[in-house]
Amino acid sequence: MMERGLAYRKKALVNWCSKCATVLANEQVVEGCCWRHEDTPVEQRALEQWFLKITAYADQLLDDMKDLEGGWPERVLTMQRNWIGRSAGAEVDFRLADTSTPIRVFTTRVDTIYGATCVILAPEHPLNETLLDDAGKARAKAMVDARANRDPGDILKEGFFSGHYAINPYNGERVPIWVGNFVLMGYGTGALMAVPAHDERDFEFCRKYDIGVRPVIRPVEGELAVEPGMQVSYTEDGVVEESGEWSGLPSEEARRRMSAYAEQNGFGKAAITFRIKDWGISRQRYWGTPIPVIHCPSCGVVPVPEDQLPVILPERIEITGAGRSPLENVPDFVNVNCPRCGGAGKRETDTMDTFIDSSWYFYRYCDPRNSTMPFDPAKIAYWFEIDQYIGGVEHAILHLIYSRFFTKMMRDIGLIRNNEPVRRMFTQGMVIAEGAKMSKSKGNVVGADWLAEKFGADTARMFVLFAAPPEKEVDWRAEGAEGLYRFLGRVYRFATRNVGQPERPATGVTDLPSTTSDRKVLRKLHQTVKKITGDFETRWHFNTCIASIMELVNVLYAEEANISAAVKPEIIEKLALLLAPFAPYVSQEIWDELGREGPVFRQCWPSFDPELAKDEEAEIPVQVNGKLRGRIHVPFGTAKDELERRALADEKVQSAIAGKQVKKVIVIPDKLVNIVVQ
């Protein structure tokens, strides 16, 4: 990555958590605080750090999402889209009135540039060094400091006049240059043109400091706003006015032509800006992969040669928590010879963000013992893409975006051929404990261990699965676990007292037996297999799977006395197989009781007979004006007119429509009859 310029070092303002005593990535900052310590505000420190150039892939990460649609939750894709934050616009040079030094601004609305009434610089903008006097520099610095420990809430817009003017390249107008605390150095060019008439923030700022407001866009069906007197900015697209030769053009077209004009005349160009920034990966921690470079006084930063990879962490180190890498205190690790010139060099002592490891672990899993390279590309070609990945939403802009980045990067260096790591993504809901989301990184995990200890692992597993569908967020509460324990007891008791003599293998009871109970029970059995098979293949709603097994067992209890000995083994066998994914231990017990060989989880999933899963007759609700008035029982496939006749003949229906005129009868075969009367 270093050779390709995708890994680089720069001195930059980085996020620092004092509790972790390390640097954090932007993605690891949550509402201005550390993702692992929500009460610890992140400080900004200027440090020399390693970055990975994820921005080089911003476009691909965004564009390739179209291939993920359908397979990934929309929510995750939206979060990634927002995080990447692509916005198309233009860069334009305003020039300093006195020295002609260009000040480049980024805007998505070049079409409004005739309405620009000032240029605003970020307080950290490099030009401030030359533009501002000492007092001004002090004010700018105060703004930067105020932002470093800003409240998560809004800060008021503040600014001051720099004492200088800039020239608008389109109309040659002189506009004042201000410094504003709401202008971010890290986005765009760190400078903007304020068009208060057409931007809410600029409007607020310019009103506050009494800088002019000049409307230049009118609604397509409407008049240009009149100033003074504007109460709010008009931020929609419209028709350009008061803008010289561009007047009369629709916003969209004006933007296109005006950026082309800037490019032709050498003072700007169409440009795209991303919100996502490069990934800061240096950590001052022991636990992490060493950054494999050597600092040589004469050669500079030299990568560790491939045949010496991976760099292994030294053991027996002292964790200081001093905010510097503990590796610095290990001379054997630090002092090495430069691979290029052979002179004395020092190993990099920062380690990498652990998200580096999770970005490609699943590739390594395909070839875990390879000692010469990360993995054999042929093996990856065989296994990838991952068909189905499961994880929490909390990783949407962390792990899941980093992994996509790594995949594209490794594709470009020829290690793999796939574009994306994961074809289908499922995000399980978060578990909330006492109002806060549980997570490994926060250490507030309340386990199901005690449940397993009290009721056994089967009950614990069933309980968790039964609580809600897996994509849903759930509040962790243990009420109701006994119900699942009772249920497993019910199943086990039914099975053990009904196994009988197992010498006759009982597969393939395919004809409907004659007794009512047998028919009822076998039908329910096949319906249950059908339902669960369907849920496994599509929805993964295990709560309803378990509910349907409970229904089956309820029927078994109700009919127990009348079930023939011949069908009992088949029922118990399939019951064990159905239950195996949810309660493997109890299922195994039942399997053994049946006298079957081997582990139950090695068996095939039970099949169902669609014919046997059909209800014997249809129960058709009969509505009158949409209200349920009766039910009729008919064979499946009964013709419409017959259904209508039977429905109208029903006693309760008769009394409900007595004295009224039947206007219309809606008949949905095998489903419902609705009689419309007046």
Please give the residues from 477 up to 506 whose contact with RNA meets the rule CB under 7 A: 479-480, 482-484, 486-487, 489-490, 493
99 touching RNA, by CB under 7 A = no
Query: Within positions 273 to 302, which residues make up the interface with RNA, using CB under 7 A?
Result: 273, 275
Distance separating alpha carbons of residues 21 and 283, to the nearest angstrom: 9
Position among 68, 192, 240, 409 found at the interface with RNA (CB under 7 A): 192
Q: How far is the CB of 562 from RNA (least distance, A)?
A: 13
Region near RNA per CB under 7 A, out of 254-262, 418-426, 516-524, 546-554: 546-554
What is the C-alpha separation between 161 and 416, in angstroms, rounded?
54
Window 375-414: contact mask with RNA (x via CB under 7 A): ------------------xx-xx-----------------
- CA distance linking residue 360 with residue 362, whole number of Å: 5
Taking CB under 7 A as the binding criterion, the range among 188-196, 236-244, 347-355, 376-384 that sits at the site for RNA is 188-196
Question: Which tokens go with 644?
Answer: 């209508």
332 near RNA, judged by CB under 7 A: no
Q: Looking only at residues 203 through 262 of this chain, which bind RNA when binding is defined by CB under 7 A?
A: 204
Whole-angstrom distance, CA of residue 291 vs CA of residue 49: 11
Least spacing, CB of residue 580 vs RNA, in Å: 18
Residues 10-39 that bind RNA (CB under 7 A): 30-31
Stretch that binds RNA, among 189-197, 292-300, 370-378, 577-585 (CB under 7 A): 189-197
Q: Out of 41, 188, 288, 345, point to the residue binding RNA (CB under 7 A).
A: 188
Dihedrals phi, psi of 289, to nearest 5 degrees: -80, 130
Q: Which of 468, 512, 613, 634 binds RNA (CB under 7 A)?
A: 468
How are beta strands 22-24 and 7-17 bridged, if at all? antiparallel
How many residues line the site for RNA (CB under 7 A)? 92
Q: Could you identify the residue written with the tokens 């499922």?
A: 426
Closer to RNA at the Cβ: 30 or 270? 30
CA separation for the pair 217, 214 (Å, rounded)? 9
Site for RNA in 506-545 (CB under 7 A): 531, 534-535, 538-539, 541, 543-544
Give, as one character, the DSSP assignment of residue 111: G
Decide whether 380 or 546 has the Cβ nearer to RNA.
546
Q: Nearer Cβ to RNA, position 320 or 654? A: 654
135 contact partners, CB below 8 Å, separation of at least 6 = none
Query: For RNA, which is the closer residue by CB, 311 or 462?
Result: 462
Range 109-128, binding RNA (CB under 7 A):
109, 122
* Nearer Cβ to RNA (270/299): 270
Q: Interface with RNA includes 154 (CB under 7 A)?
A: yes
Residue whose CB is less far from RNA, 330 or 555: 555
Please, what's the largest Cα pairwise distance for the chain? 108
CA distance 678 to 662: 7
Residue ranges in 161-316 assigned as alpha helix (H): 200-208, 251-264
Residues 629-658 that bind RNA (CB under 7 A): 629, 631, 652, 656
Shortest distance in whole angstroms from residue 326 CB to RNA: 30
Q: Restricting to residues 562-591, which ones interact with RNA according to CB under 7 A?
A: none
- Return the H-helix or E-strand segment holding 515: none
| Stretch touching RNA by CB under 7 A, among 46-54, 222-230, 241-249, 551-559 | 551-559
Residue 619 touching RNA (CB under 7 A)? yes
**Least distance (Å) between residue 581 CB and RNA:** 16
> What is the bridge-based pairing of β-strands 159-167 and 174-180?
antiparallel
Geometric angle at alpha carbon 60, from 54 and 63, rounded to 5°:
135
Residue from the set 41, 89, 123, 176 that interacts with RNA by CB under 7 A: 89
- Count how many Cα atoms sit within 13 Å of the Cα of residue 414 in the half-sphere of its side chain: 2
Q: How far is CA 36 from CA 10, 33, 76, 442, in A?
A: 25, 8, 21, 5
Whether the Cβ atoms of residue 213 and residue 117 lie closer than 8 Å to each other: yes
User: Contact region for RNA (CB under 7 A) — 14-22, 317-325, 463-471, 520-528?
Assistant: 463-471
625 binds RNA (CB under 7 A): yes
Contact between 319 and RNA per CB under 7 A: no
Q: Which stretch binds RNA (CB under 7 A): 53-61, 107-115, 222-230, 641-649?
A: 107-115
DSSP letter (8 states) at residue 323:
S
In whole angstroms, what is the distance from residue 322 CA to residue 310 CA?
26
> Toward RNA, which CB reaches closer, 257 or 379?
257
Binders of RNA among residues 58 to 87 (CB under 7 A) are 74-75, 78-79, 82-83, 85, 87
Q: Contact region for RNA (CB under 7 A) — 223-231, 404-412, 586-594, 618-626? A: 618-626
From the CB of 494, what's the least distance to RNA, in Å? 8
CA 175 to chain centre: 44
Give the pairing of strands 672-677 and 617-624: parallel
Q: Give CA 577 to chain center in angstroms.
A: 35
Closest residue by Cα to residue 358 from 65, 28, 23: 28
What angle do helix axes 568-579 and 516-537 make, rounded to 10 degrees? 20
Distance of CA 661 to the CA centre of its chain: 57
Binding residue for RNA, selected from 316, 440, 497, 664, defined by CB under 7 A:
664
Tell me 122's DSSP state: -
